[in-house]
Structure 1
Amino acid sequence: MTFDLVLRSRRTVLPEGERPASVCVRDGRIAEIAPYEGVDGVDLEDVALLPGLVDTHVHVNEPGRTEWEGFATATRAAAAGGVTTIVDMPLNSLPPTVDAGALAVKRAAAEGQCHVDTGFWGGAIPGNAGELAALYDAGVFGFKAFLVDSGVPEFPPLSSAQLREALSAVDALFVIHAEDPAAIEPAAGSPHYADFVASRPPSAETGAVGTVVAAARETGRRMHVLHLSAAAALRSIVDAPNVTVETCPHYLTFTAEEVPDGATEYKCCPPIRDAANRDALWQGLASGAIDCVVSDHSPCTPDLKRADTGDFAAAWGGIASLQLGLPVVWTQATGRGFGLADVVRWMATRPAELVGLRRKGRIAVGYDADLVAFDPDAAFVVDAGRLRHRHPVTPYHGRALLGKVHTTWLRGSIVDGVTPRGRLLSRGAA
């Protein structure tokens, strides 16, 4: 039997765990999982072979704010980091993806530029409940909503009543930025990170998560809490029906205690919290209370980070990390006793399941041959200037990490960063 590609690794991460195996590819799909020995092919030896990661929380910003980030740069960065599928958020592009016409504009902007497969979220904002069914039929994977100011005027937050109106309009997955505006103090201009953290306390997240859980119980809709920072909120989610939750590499890595004053590249909302909270998030991953880890890649132009003043209140809130998620999480995970199979579950399998990508996130027969050669023992120091996203701004600059992506394959073809081979994905057809 002939194959288009065979990759052999002593550390192949399969659904049942890590073992030596050969992955045989035909017509862009995995056709067979064969023994490691006795099969001709590309031998990775002890370099691990992982399924391509699935990042369901990426802000590409094109069209309209392409100077912040665009499809070409974002997807090159994704592939360089072992991510073979992204799902783009409905903001901060102009127009935001809040109706079927805006989705068509977004897809036209992405066409022919993507180096990895790319899907799209729709947005739920005040007044567009009547647009959601048509937008869902047009192929978005679900709907994002904010319960607090989004940071851009064209994407305002929903009240509790407006959230329920949106939920009643369409039977879809809703992904929620869960912070309660009533618990947030207006942040005075300050270069002190402690002042910024104090302005967005854990109670802002726990209160908003309570709103999400109550809405899920009342309506029966599937709901997903985005970028959980406050581990205390997990108590409300664990026994909640139809509610899942994600966290991000920066919450699992950084601590509030280590953020220097004026270092606005660390600003994100909700904020990075203290070391005890970080450890509690890791406990949530270990217990299964947290379902997945995604980037929340949210870059901007360097001037919007206000490095000139170091003012956390004025700086744009978002962390650029799309290319670094795998080594960042692996660096922390291996030091805490987790293995590659755990990282694959959090960053590939579960995100794919969240959005219904039936052929992504696993090395298994019939799945897309989206694969990553990853050396888990290789160390490096992050140089922001060598990253593929548009602007060289990231809080990981100068940080020592463990694990290097050697090669990324999309449906059996090497992603070279030159020829875009990514497909635009639609719900139900992906």
Structure 2
Amino acid sequence: MNIHEYQAKELLKTYGVPVPLGGVAYSDKQAANVAEEISGDRWVVKAQIHAGGRGKAGGVRLAHSIGEVRQAADNMLGRRLVTHQTGPGGSLVQRIWIEQASDIAKEYYLGFVIDRGSQRITMIASSEGGMDIEEVNRTHPEKVIKETVDPAIGLRDFQCRKVAAAMGLRGKLMPQAVKIMKAIYRCIRDKDALLAEINPLAVNKNDQLVALDAKITFDDNALYRQHQINEMRDFDEEDPKEVEASGHGLNYIALDGSIGCIVNGAGLAMATMDAITLHGGRPANFLDVGGGASPEKVTNACRIVLQDPNVKAILVNIFAGINRCDWIAKGLIQAMESLNITAPMVVRLAGTNVEAGRELLESSGLSFITAQNLDDAAAKAVAAAQG
């Protein structure tokens, strides 16, 4: 789960990370009031969406008067901001963040991420702030510093000093950097975050480090115990199909293909998408119905998949263990009848009660396309979508 920049800054501030003075606004008038409360003679107006690249897309403006703040807010609010991360449709700007402008002397990158290889929190830093860390790693890998944290003892001061020195943060900046690094580490650990990133971490003209931008991503599986974080969730920034799917206990991720996938098990779902691609098709989604797929759950899965107008065919691939093939078959029959599905539906069943499931499909009188194995199912689904 992602949160907005202003939410990330407010959270990091509670851990002692220095951030510019600012406030959130939902209208141009409110933006002007926020700027007046902050005071000063320069402000930064930032569109709040769950995507990077806002500055290049016009989503970050520098204002030199209250009037310019109000004008910038009016230009952003209610408009769709298109960046390299939003796709061509963009994201609707419904709130903005106004903060005190900083006099920047130098920019750095600082982030913490769960490294799946080492299964530990890893600090990533660079003297090249303000850029995508992936691009820096590609063009100047020697400028990316990584430090793995032992979970048994946590992030140590000597590790922070080592990374800060490699970034070029010396003198009075060194203890500031150590404090910020340990604060971000505590945040990602305490809040079950997958990523906490400050880009840029800037040095102002007073030789003070300040977080000018912040991004935090949380583990969805831990939200049940992170009530404060769960309250920050902005459903308007998420795909409505994904939100609805989560409410039905389904794991759904929208993709850009034409073959809807309904599968049980994440690994089998990945294999199914690979098989579709191998036969020249493109999956329209990742959907895992999980281990206890009732007929109602299967019907909901079909309905959510068909909300995507790009879906030309559906591939159902079930290997039943905890599930039962007859449950799946009943759900598919129920979906075909109640949803009036006209798109071709290819079904491959295997495992518990497979014969009973196949018999239900065959005796239903509905136009299911059955398959014996995954390769056969993928080939038939691609042919159906193209036909």
Shorter chain as denominator, the TM-score bin is under 0.3
Relative to the length of structure 1, the TM-score reads 0.21
Which of structures 1 and 2 has the larger relative contact order (alpha carbons within 8 angstroms, sep 6+)?
1
Bigger fraction of residues in helix = 2
